[in-house]
Amino acid sequence: MNEGTLSLHLRNDLSELATLSENLEEFATSLGLSKRTLFQLNLVIDELVTNIINYAYRDDAEHRITVIVRFEKGSLVMRVEDDGIPFNPILSEAPDCSCPVERRVVGKLGIHLARQFADDLVYERCGNSNVLTITKHLREERLAEGPHKSRSN
């Protein structure tokens, strides 16, 4: 599996989610990531970007959301950056998934999924930007080749 980087600049528009998904799939395929890892990656980033689009801005102006996904040294490192209102999602309480669906509070699913997926989450406020970095260590069994096959170059 080769190292690589995907870098996207998205507008704060829900129509951009299709572009995000297509690019993530191409990137994951180029790396030979398993369908399961691609699904998890796509779900987490889709939820986080959706939350940014829906809640991070107090105006109707166009804003840019930057998504960078790197594969390096056996780990996926995802960075999501926006210029929305300051918000540290790591401090957000986890949603109560034990109560019936009809009584659940809407929201907080994106960071909940990120916590479940990630081995490490780091939030920073850099100037006027929220920056969330999510790291997922991939084990050999998560790769498309399977746990017992190796790729020779």
List C-alpha distances in Å: 15 to 5, 7, 31, 63: 23, 18, 26, 14
> Can you give the pLDDT at residue 133?
95
Contact yes or no for 36/76 (Cβ under 8 A): no
Reduced to 3 states, what is the DSSP secondary structure of residue 153?
coil
Reduced to 3 states, what is the DSSP secondary structure of residue 54?
helix
Q: Is the dihedral of CA 25, 29, 33, 36 positive or negative?
A: positive
User: What gap in Å lies between CA 1 and CA 3, rounded to an integer?
Assistant: 7
> Residue 51 corresponds to which tokens in the numbers above?
């939350």
All residues at 6 or more sequence positions from 80 whose CB lies less than 8 Å from its CB, including other chains: 45, 48, 49, 52, 65, 66, 67, 131, 132, 134
- Structural domain spans, the chain: 4-142
> Can you give the pLDDT at residue 99?
55
Could you read off the pLDDT tens digit of each residue along the chain, which spans 153 residues? 557 899 999 999 999 999 999 999 999 999 999 999 999 889 889 989 999 999 999 999 999 999 999 998 889 999 999 999 999 988 876 655 565 655 544 455 667 777 888 889 999 999 999 999 999 998 753 444 443 333 333
> Can you give the pLDDT at residue 148?
32
Q: DSSP letter string over 12-31?
A: SSTTHHHHHHHHHHHHHHHH
Contact yes or no for 64/53 (Cβ under 8 A): no
User: Residue 129 pairs with which residues in a beta bridge?
Assistant: 126
Domain 4-142 has CATH 3.30.565.10: yes
The pTM of the full predicted model, rounded to 2 decimals, is 0.81
